[in-house]
Structure 1
Amino acid sequence: MSNVQFDSLKFRYPFRKHQEMILQSFKNEQLKSKGGPLHFHVVAPPGAGKTIVGLECVIRLQVPAVIICPNTAIQGQWIDKFDLFIPEDSNINKDDIIGSNPNSLKPINVFTYQVLSIPDNDTDSYRSVSENMWAESISESLGIAKEEALDRIHKMREKNLAEYNKELSKYTKKLRNSVFEGSGGDFLKILHPNTRELIKKLKEMGVKTVVFDECHHLKNYWAVVMREIIKEIDAKNIIGLTATPPSSDEGESYECYTALLGEIDFQLPTPAVVKDGMLSPYQDLVYFCIPTQEELKFIEETHERYKKLIEKFDKKDCDFYNWIEKRIVERKLVSGEKQAWTKFINSRPGFAAAGVKYLIKNGCKLPWDITVTEDMYNEMSVEDWCYLIEDYALHKLKVSDSEEDKVLYEDIKLALRSLGFILTEKGIRNHNSPVDRVLAYSRSKLLAVKDIIKEEMLSMGDKLRVAVITDFEISNALSLKKVNNVLDEESGGAVSVLKELVADPEIDKLNPIMVTAKNLLCDDDIAEKYVEIGNKWAKENSLDIKLEVQPGVEGLFCAIAGSGRDWNSKTAVLFTTYLLEEGVTKCLIGTRGLFSEGWDSIALNTLIDLSTATTFASVNQLRGRSIRKNEKEPRKLANNWDVVCIAPGLERGYNDLERLLKKHKQFYGICEDGRIQQGIDHVDAALSFGETKIMQEGIQSINARMLKKLRQREEVYNAWKIGEPFLNIEVGCCELRMSKPCKIKTAGLMKKEFGTLGRKLKLGVACGIGSIGAIMMAAAGMTFGPFGTLPVLAAGVLMGVKSVTDIRGFWKYGNDLFMGRPAIDTITDISKCLFYALKECGFISRDLYERKITVTERADGSLRVYLEASKEDSQTFAASLAEILAPIEDQRYAVQRYEEKMPEGTFERLNCMIGWGLNKSNPQLVCYHPLPSLFNHKEKALVFKKHWNRYVSPGDIVYLKGEEGKKIVENYGRVNFFGAKKQLSNIWM
């Protein structure tokens, strides 16, 4: 295919803004490559038009290409979308340019991963490659040539077949494992002959561009095979497209993936595609519930042993305390030397942090050679206790000859097991917890689903289209015998949801339908209609399907039996989705396996997720189902619900909440103030700052807010500002929750305000004196008659009223401005200081302006602070702000903070304000703030001091490593002055 033909191909429509951004990034990568090898790895949500972008990239590269997809459906989409690149009224023949026939290659070829990776089961192929692996091993260990090693192996095969087979089996097994695990090997030789022939043709065709669609599938076997194919055909341009890249937590799979595709070059979050109008906006909501009485009783009983154990250990006068204090404070090595704290915490971070938490909790005064970080002031979690108990049990009790210690060791094992932990020689390990299962599949979640659906029905009426997603059709909760009397075989499954919904007269009006890989159950009200429409639909689509009704249970629902060549779970889902679109049913119930990747319903506007999935890929695919554009409902806004069951006050009672936090960790959503934020914060501000211990009152207030938000679809749609410009940048943000009041700044930094206060005071006093004088004159002049004294008396009264008004104004101004100064003002001052110091020192761009600082207050009173700048600059700013508000510990420099004295009583306040009005100020040193680590050099620290003195407070910097500094650390260290909780997050703009 000539370049002229490539040049004649052009997308018929304007690219969306987000597509233009991707293509601009691609152009930048082309320029960087300077005609050499090019890798372009794109992450964008489902519905972002990645196929269009991929085809445009192929056309721009102007060399033969192969596009590889996970299945034939997606393969067909690529070929169909190519029509949009052929100019109307042109004589270009599509079949001459793009195709999917391995026997007739085109300039652009579209194949599946399966076609290019079929293994050959031929024994000779495996034997040949295994012999090569064996020879390489001998060559490496004995230092002989590979050819000599192969010759030795062949002689063994001829003369000592038994030993040959014995040795060869080791490498054959290794090879087969590597094929299916993707850990290495000469793969091309073990591919099917037809596959090898296809690869040969691609090479001869001169294919230099390879596009991997849905490239998150490239893990293990596929990844390694594709890597070998790229080498074989000498491809220069590698393009990867996905919505769900694997996580670094996935170990070898992630390494295989990144070895092939490299780091992500362009990432487009879902909000960008929403703002661009290609996906519907959404809001993430959560509904909390509490286990049933029976379930709660079971959970409480599982905690009994553990609680008794903690009560025994959580005090100063016990053997456990003495052991932990010795391990944390003394830190003796086998040699008898004391281990440095840095080495100790680096080698055992979990144990070290838990030990410090425990000692602080029990009132231990820690030596200053122990660095206490802010998180060590948090409450102890069950995981913290496990770190400490593990050390105590294995290194103290298990090696003891005391019978009492042996009994305690066994008690610990039993207590931990009841909560889902096993104590082994290698430490404490997690195992399937009955508590976790009860929370995940609690019957109370069914009641929560009913509450949500009823509220959605009131809000949406006939427009409601809801899907409830579960893990299973019938829960496997019974695999744990310990929950046998609490959960039944249907707990948490799709069947239990259907039964609950059809039994409710109101929700039954939605005509719920359940579809799983095994069964199709529907509300008895529409069973006959379902079959009638289904058989008609099959006939219209030329499908060999016949449906019939089977009796159900208790007359509430019926089973639909299907037969025929084309009847399977796929066609069942397609047809049921058609019924949802048409409104025959308004409620689908199904499993995550069927209703995630590959399933779409443009009418769906409410998703209720009861599954336990937390991986990025699973959650992203599921969330994408409800946000497809619906032309019939142009202002569609999807409500995505999570249902979370917690047992307040119990250590393992928050497992379901922790799942929720993990689920939302990587996702962006819209907050109540219209900002788009990553993490759980966008669901509700009360869930931020690692709040995992929500009590019953908190549950009720969050649920009330969620049900209110449910009804605010129009307001939330407007808040998304669809169609307005966006930058597609991730901005670092520092969030703060202050538990102590902020006081006023010193008079020297508030000259204007103190001057205004003084003028109000002087005017009020002057009017008061004038009033008194006039009244006295009037009284003295009464002998001259009323006509001479009345004007003077009237003037005196008016001046008195004016004096009272002015004095009141003086009090109100002083009280409002100084006594009740909000935290947002103080944090704004600190932010300005930090901004100018970072800018002057060159730590952030010198082109930035003060107006790029944003400090806002959220609904719960917490503050959000960020710098509208590049990702790097904004993260530098946010992290540095968090450092300023941290307690003094082992930082290098600190700066003094002065404040005016804040009196408590009304008379004292008035007296104080009079003094301020008369320009009398008596600032007091209240604390020291650590300087961010970027200002560890003295000249940089002096720059910070200059701006601190200008915006925040007078005061000097102090070197904390000197003698004076050590005294300051002793007196002011480890104190959280504002009582501030801090967390770093990301805002998308």
Structure 2
Amino acid sequence: MELIHSLKFKFEWRSYQQNFLDHFTEHIQDHHLHMVAPPGSGKTILGLEVLRRVNKRTLVLAPTLTIRNQWKDRLVSFFLNDVTFTNFSTNIKEPKLLTFSTYQSLHALNKRLTKAENHSLLEFIRENGIETLVLDEAHHLKNEWYKCLMALKEIEGLTVIALTATPPYDSSGAELNKYFELCGPIDDEIAVPDLVKNGDLCPHQDFVYFSKPSEAQIRYIVEYRENIIQFMNDLKVDTKFQNLLLEHPFYKNTEDTLEEIYGKPSFLSAMLIFLNSAGVDIDKEKLLFLGFENKVVDFPELTYEWIEILLQELLVAQREALGAYEPQLKAIEKQLGRIGVYEKKRVNFVGDEQLYRSLASSPSKLRSIHNILQEEYKVLGEQLKAVVLTDFIRKEFFDYTGEATGVLNKLGVVSIFQYLRIKSGHKQHLAILTGSLVVLHKTVVEDFEKVLGEGAFGKQPMVADTDFITISAFGNAKNNIVAAVTELFQKGKIKILIGTKSLLGEGWDAPAINTLVLASYVGSFVSSNQMRGRAIRTDANESNKTGNIWHLACLDPTISDGGKDLEKLKRRFTAFSGVSIDGEPYIENGLDRLQLPAHFDEDSHLEELNATMVQSASDRQNLGERWHEAIHKGSVLVREVKVPYTDRTPFRKVKRMRSVDAAQYLVIEVVAGLGLFLPEFLMKNIGTLLNKGIFQFLYFLLAGIVIGFAPKTYKALKLYFLFGNSFKKTIKISNALLDYLVRTKQIHSGSCAISVVAEQNANGAFVCYLKGASNYESTLFVNLLHEILAPVENPRYLLVNSNWLKRKWGIRNYYVVPQDLGRRKADAERFHSFWKKHVDGSKLLYTRTQMGRKELLKARLAHIVYQFKEVSEKAITWK
């Protein structure tokens, strides 16, 4: 074929690129290659080398024309020595050996072929001999694009190469499954530490600056919460509603509706939890029928999540079947609508969207942005090159001429600009750059004219402040305006550039950025990572560049964990790898590396947090040193399962028990206790010894010891065995899983080369990962282990180990057989054999029989406490 001979990379590969290419043959064996590569890693160039090695007729698809053209430009600049090679095209209707196009063009072609020509896209691809499909920036795929691409996968032998900077981990489960169904599992990932080590990315850090809502917002949130609490209290004493639930077929005719119950176990759980919370005695016979032999269920408290499930079913899913109760349901619907928790047929007590929008766009973030830039200016001075990215322009504030910032009550480009213009002492450094609005300070207009050309644009003084000029370009100059403003920013003529993420978030590049403020809250963390990528590139003109990326969080004062704005931020941070902010340097994804508190209760705490962030951000030299120290401690990104420590008993106490053994711990506790107990006992009971004799005295002494120390003994043993269950058992499960994967040849590196490693963190959380495994093998192991430890949902097979002590102490009796290991009975049984070898004698239960369904329902009810909690989470660490 022509590709492998006509194309050749002109330069030397970087070490991490070469490492990826060394494993290429292994990755491509299944005709799939899924690569994750951060901005700056040469993803497009590697993609061209991959398709050269595959050496087949190829269609490359990109999300935009700009990125499509980058493929063609990189081909010409980096691979073509032979100028006579012209067998490439950007016209999908006339494909050549190499065709560069967009997803939109493919979708349009599919529609035209189907409607106008009664032809299929599948036939078109086959007729043109296309055997390789490259999906660039695969996280952009939409449903319509996905459908026609999945149709193409029917072509036998088609090779699919997927490239992305950030997999869409924050998409819904169904969307994420579609993504991996199309792209396949991740085969390899180029690590950010390798890029920093090689000098392709600069040392950088993510910081969070906290604010609290305005008084008006706080009143709104408090009233919102109080209305919900009042509604829940009223509902719990509503005997008509209780009667509705007691008469519901799920409760009244449990035996006759078992099949329906099995399809909606969460709804039954919600019913029982509500009735228990309302003080209704649950029918013990029903608990017995559902599989609870001791007729006791430890029901959790009624939370927002449970009442959402309950009312969503009653008001929407089962509304027609509950016609007899329509007046009552209608009244509840109106009440929910009045307090703002029922909209578009969705019950939402948590306030995910309504409260999140209020907090995410809080005007308190304007002050945060100002404070951040003031602090950055103190450190960097004239070297400051800051970009503030947000979602909306907010032109309604453009002509505001006042000096009171309270009017600026919405987050947007113009409101940020106006706030900084009024508050900042460096307004001459400000500029706006969006697709429809460009504002420059009058001191840089002359330089702008030199870059763009005299007479190529119109100028109009800004009404709010005549020191600023609004720019309007004409003709072809309109297309060059972004490049002209970017050049002024690169040169330092503009030091603070405020723009929209739609224009500057992806595809725009200005290596001089050393401070980025992400004031964006619309969209996924895929776009957040793209925006973040602007600030972490190296700058040829500044060899010691470091990048500070600031994220904004407005805390909900009615929620101790910070609320939805911070929760969204936590999810986004799973896409970011970075160095720990303090203590021993390590590199990890997620928000834990910033060492934030679990609870945010006091305003003073918030100020201390911001001060800590600012202090750390100001020491840029230390940032570089921490990166390089952490990089030298590892060599590869390791995927791991992290199990958080959630027990209320301090971890130090549990750790102390583990280190000395339970029996020794008890002896120490008893001896220490007796040292305090005996003297007091002797003083009080000396009369007994003298009057009634030694035997009566010893009787009272022993009784006192038992009464005084039995509870402590019970508690100590319980802590010890609970700890052993969570830590030691996870290690046993990991070994069982590894043994299974090696014996079934799903792991190819060999059992001698790979081992399970478990490490305990200082905060009590522990991690499990595979040492010596490939990226693909680690990903497979972590995904399966995470599924085993997850709350019980609806697996085909369960592992059941029930005994009295475990039930009494709340130790898990049920574990899930992962979906991929439970598709066939033979696979499930084989995994079970490894479980018995390494873990315990649990029984394998098939849940699709009547008895199995009952046990599954029991498992879900028994583990009801895990329903809305992360039992384990996936993490990526440099080791």
- What TM-score, normalized by structure 2, do the two folds share? 0.70
580-589 vs 747-756, greater mean Cα deviation: 747-756
Partner residue in 2 for 1:518:
436
Compared CA separation, residues 575 and 882, structure 1 to 2 (3 A): same
Q: Given the alignment of the two structures, is residue 449 of structure 1 paired with residue 449 of structure 2, yes or no?
A: no
Q: What is the one-letter code of the residue matched to 1:241?
A: L
Partner residue in 2 for 1:551:
461
Does structure 1 conserve the Cα–Cα contact (< 8 Å) formed by 2:501 and 2:531?
yes
Q: 2:472 aligns with which of 552, 558, 562?
A: 562
Does structure 2 conserve the Cα–Cα contact (< 8 Å) formed by 1:856 and 1:863?
yes
Does structure 2 conserve the Cα–Cα contact (< 8 Å) formed by 1:63 and 1:208?
yes
Q: 1:496 aligns with which of 385, 390, 415?
A: 415
43-52 vs 641-650, greater mean Cα deviation: 641-650
Q: 2:549 aligns with which of 640, 644, 652?
A: 640
Does structure 1 conserve the Cα–Cα contact (< 8 Å) formed by 2:553 and 2:565?
yes
Distance 1:661 1:328 in 2: 41
Q: 1:865 aligns with which of 767, 770, 773?
A: 767
Does structure 1 conserve the Cα–Cα contact (< 8 Å) formed by 2:107 and 2:145?
no
Partner residue in 2 for 1:835:
731
Corresponding residue SS for 2:534: helix
1:387 Cα offset (Å): 2.9
Corresponding residue SS for 1:594: helix
Q: What is the one-letter code of the residue matched to 1:27?
A: T
1:415 Cα offset (Å): 3.7
Does structure 2 conserve the Cα–Cα contact (< 8 Å) formed by 1:733 and 1:984?
yes
Distance 1:754 1:251 in 2: 47
Distance 1:941 1:458 in 2: 63
Q: Given the alignment of the two structures, is residue 28 of structure 1 paired with residue 21 of structure 2, yes or no?
A: no
- In structure 1, stretches of 5+ residues that fail to align are 133-184, 190-195, 478-485, 761-818, 885-889, 899-924, 947-955, 960-965
Partner residue in 2 for 1:592:
501
Q: Deviations over 1:50-75 (max 9, x none)?
A: 12212212332344545444555434
Does structure 2 conserve the Cα–Cα contact (< 8 Å) formed by 1:328 and 1:356?
no
Distance 1:655 1:122 in 2: 41
Q: 2:44 aligns with which of 41, 51, 54?
A: 51
Q: Deviations over 1:723-743 (max 9, x none)?
A: 665333311121213311446
Distance 1:311 1:505 in 2: 49
1:590 Cα offset (Å): 0.9
Corresponding residue SS for 1:12: coil
Compared CA separation, residues 878 and 589, structure 1 to 2 (3 A): same
Q: Deviations over 1:648-683 (max 9, x none)?
A: 227999343343344335544444454444444344
Distance 2:493 2:298 in 1: 53
Q: What is the one-letter code of the residue matched to 1:537?
A: V
1:837 Cα offset (Å): 7.5
Partner residue in 2 for 1:660:
569
Q: What is the one-letter code of the residue matched to 1:5?
A: H
Does structure 2 conserve the Cα–Cα contact (< 8 Å) formed by 1:602 and 1:626?
yes
Does structure 2 conserve the Cα–Cα contact (< 8 Å) formed by 1:883 and 1:932?
no
Corresponding residue SS for 2:477: coil
Does structure 2 conserve the Cα–Cα contact (< 8 Å) formed by 1:420 and 1:433?
no
Compared CA separation, residues 855 and 552, structure 1 to 2 (3 A): same
Compared CA separation, residues 283 and 71, structure 1 to 2 (3 A): same
Does structure 2 conserve the Cα–Cα contact (< 8 Å) formed by 1:733 and 1:874?
no
Q: 1:854 aligns with which of 759, 784, 793?
A: 759
Q: What is the one-letter code of the residue matched to 1:854?
A: E
Partner residue in 2 for 1:13:
12
1:643 Cα offset (Å): 1.7
Compared CA separation, residues 12 and 576, structure 1 to 2 (3 A): same
Q: 1:985 aligns with which of 851, 874, 877?
A: 874
1:472 Cα offset (Å): 0.9
Distance 1:356 1:487 in 2: 48
Corresponding residue SS for 1:593: helix
1:529 Cα offset (Å): 2.7
Compared CA separation, residues 892 and 685, structure 1 to 2 (3 A): farther
Does structure 1 conserve the Cα–Cα contact (< 8 Å) formed by 2:6 and 2:85?
no
Distance 2:4 2:314 in 1: 76
1:551 Cα offset (Å): 2.0
Q: Deviations over 1:731-777 (max 9, x none)?
A: 112121331144665999589999999999xxxxxxxxxxxxxxxxx
Partner residue in 1 for 2:161:
239
Does structure 1 conserve the Cα–Cα contact (< 8 Å) formed by 2:759 and 2:768?
yes
1:309 Cα offset (Å): 1.4
Corresponding residue SS for 2:761: strand
Corresponding residue SS for 2:597: helix
What aligned pairs does 1:247-646 form with structure 2 within 5 A after superposition?
261-262=183-184, 264-268=186-190, 270=192, 273-274=195-196, 276-302=198-224, 305-314=227-236, 318-320=239-241, 323-324=244-245, 330=251, 332=253, 337=255, 339-340=257-258, 344=261, 346-349=263-266, 351-358=267-274, 367=287, 377=300, 380-381=303-304, 383-390=305-312, 406=327, 409-410=330-331, 412-422=333-343, 424=345, 435-474=355-394, 491-508=410-427, 511-522=429-440, 527-539=441-453, 546-547=456-457, 549-555=459-465, 558-568=468-478, 570-646=479-555
Does structure 1 conserve the Cα–Cα contact (< 8 Å) formed by 2:736 and 2:834?
no
Distance 1:387 1:574 in 2: 52
Compared CA separation, residues 670 and 410, structure 1 to 2 (3 A): farther
Does structure 2 conserve the Cα–Cα contact (< 8 Å) formed by 1:51 and 1:81?
yes
Q: Given the alignment of the two structures, is residue 186 of structure 1 paired with residue 186 of structure 2, yes or no?
A: no
Does structure 1 conserve the Cα–Cα contact (< 8 Å) formed by 2:756 and 2:768?
no
Compared CA separation, residues 276 and 128, structure 1 to 2 (3 A): same
Does structure 2 conserve the Cα–Cα contact (< 8 Å) formed by 1:736 and 1:982?
no
Q: What is the one-letter code of the residue matched to 2:470?
A: I
Q: What is the one-letter code of the residue matched to 2:48?
A: L
- In structure 2, stretches of 5+ residues that fail to align are 398-404, 673-714, 743-750, 772-777, 793-797, 818-830, 846-854
Distance 2:497 2:555 in 1: 26
1:121 Cα offset (Å): 13
Does structure 2 conserve the Cα–Cα contact (< 8 Å) formed by 1:734 and 1:983?
yes
Q: What is the one-letter code of the residue matched to 1:469?
A: L
Q: CA RMSD in A?
A: 5.7
Does structure 1 conserve the Cα–Cα contact (< 8 Å) formed by 2:186 and 2:779?
no
Distance 1:186 1:106 in 2: 16
Partner residue in 2 for 1:902:
none
1:303 Cα offset (Å): 5.1
1:684 Cα offset (Å): 4.1
Partner residue in 1 for 2:826:
none
Compared CA separation, residues 630 and 354, structure 1 to 2 (3 A): farther
Q: Deviations over 1:249-281 (max 9, x none)?
A: 579988987776555444446555445542234
Distance 2:270 2:350 in 1: 18
1:473 Cα offset (Å): 0.6
How many percent identity over aligned positions? 22
Q: What is the one-letter code of the residue matched to 1:866?
A: C
1:571 Cα offset (Å): 2.8
Distance 1:331 1:680 in 2: 47
Corresponding residue SS for 1:737: coil
Distance 1:437 1:837 in 2: 42
Corresponding residue SS for 2:502: coil
Compared CA separation, residues 753 and 406, structure 1 to 2 (3 A): closer
Distance 1:938 1:239 in 2: 37
1:598 Cα offset (Å): 0.6
1:515 Cα offset (Å): 1.4
Q: Deviations over 1:579-610 (max 9, x none)?
A: 22222222111112111111112121222222
